[in-house]
Copies of this chain bind each other. A is one copy, B any other.
Amino acid sequence: MINVFFAAAPARWPIYEDALRKAFAEAGLTVDLSLDHAPDQVDYIIYAPNSGVTDFTPFTRAKAVLNLWAGVENVVHDETLNIPLARMVETGLTDGMVEWVTAHVLRHHIGIDTNLRRQDGVWRQEVPPLAKDRRVTILGLGELGAACAKMLVQLKFDVRGWSRSAKSIEGVHCFSGDELDQALTGTDILVLLLPLTPATEDILNADRIALLAKGAVVLNPGRGALIDDDALLAALDSGHLKHATLDVFRTEPLPADHPYWSHPKVTVTPHVASETRAETSSQTIAENIRRAEAGLPLLHIVDRDRAY
């Protein structure tokens, strides 16, 4: 019997319980899944930051922490965590992100907002440029960023990407390391899909915004703290940036009096770009427990030094 502790907000339990049980059964695992195992009896911890668990010391025999979300910035620096930590990688999360990013890139590309404002009886026949003439740059070429880049290549956008370590994606002009400024220069639509680490906080600052093409659009479905908010607002007000569509924020829910809500050039989406889906994420979790029980290395393991 493998004891698995579901350490997430209790509201998630009814969404995940059946999906997890089904995935464990399909993986041939005999699991006691519970919200309230005694800590020293727990073998694996399914973890989300709003679970209330802040000290892993009592989980003396636990073999791994399996993060329910893609981002691990709330747990990776926990000094009481001395067992392997796995990020969530699952098709539902990836597919949802590809849909959100592709939707908003195309929205800004063909000018849907302008169309919606112009329902006034005046026939203004302005055909947008083709995707091949629109430069889209994605910062972060992990699971999510790479999947979005590939879809934008299918749509024939001029796609660039940047990541800490060098990557290669067919059809994408990939930059890495100290080539960030080159990746940003002349970008029409910028997509932020980096993990939040000390090295990426405020990565989109005033100097880097200035490198984007005049009239550029910023999409942030990654993490709120990747952006220097004051610099972004200044660039929108100056007209250098045309629009920002933001899904994530330093404080969530975004406070009702935050200037992003009322800014005419900002679209707030309430952290809905993508979320872990119960069915597919349960399969990832079951597979990782199966691997650990078989003595195989975990998938999607977090490098604690890189912090993602």
Contacts and interface: CB of A to CB of B under 8 A. Distances in A.
Interface of A: 92, 95-96, 98-100, 102-104, 106-107, 109-110, 112-113, 115-116, 119-128, 130-132, 151, 154-156, 252-258, 261-262, 266-272, 274-275, 277
A271 B261 CA distance: 33
A261 B257 CA distance: 34
Contacts of A269: 115
A107 B112 contact: yes
Given A106-B99, A277-B130, A123 B155 contact: no
Given A100-B110, A119-B262, A261-B120, A272 B154 contact: no
B95 A156 contact: yes
Nearest to A280: B130
A125 B257 CA distance: 18
B115 A267 contact: yes
Given A110-B99, A112-B107, A269-B115, A122 B256 contact: yes
Nearest to A113: B116
Contacts of A123: 252-254, 270
Given A116-B267, A121-B257, A123-B252, 5 more contacts: A95-B131, A103-B107, A103-B112, A107-B107, A125-B272
A49 to B, nearest CB: 15
Given A130-B95, A253-B123, A103 B106 contact: yes
B99 A130 contact: yes
A271 B125 contact: yes
A131 B151 CA distance: 14
A184 to B, nearest CB: 24
Contacts of A272: 125-128
A275 B119 contact: no
Nearest to A102: B106
A119 B130 CA distance: 30
Contacts of A99: 106, 109-110, 128, 130-131, 155
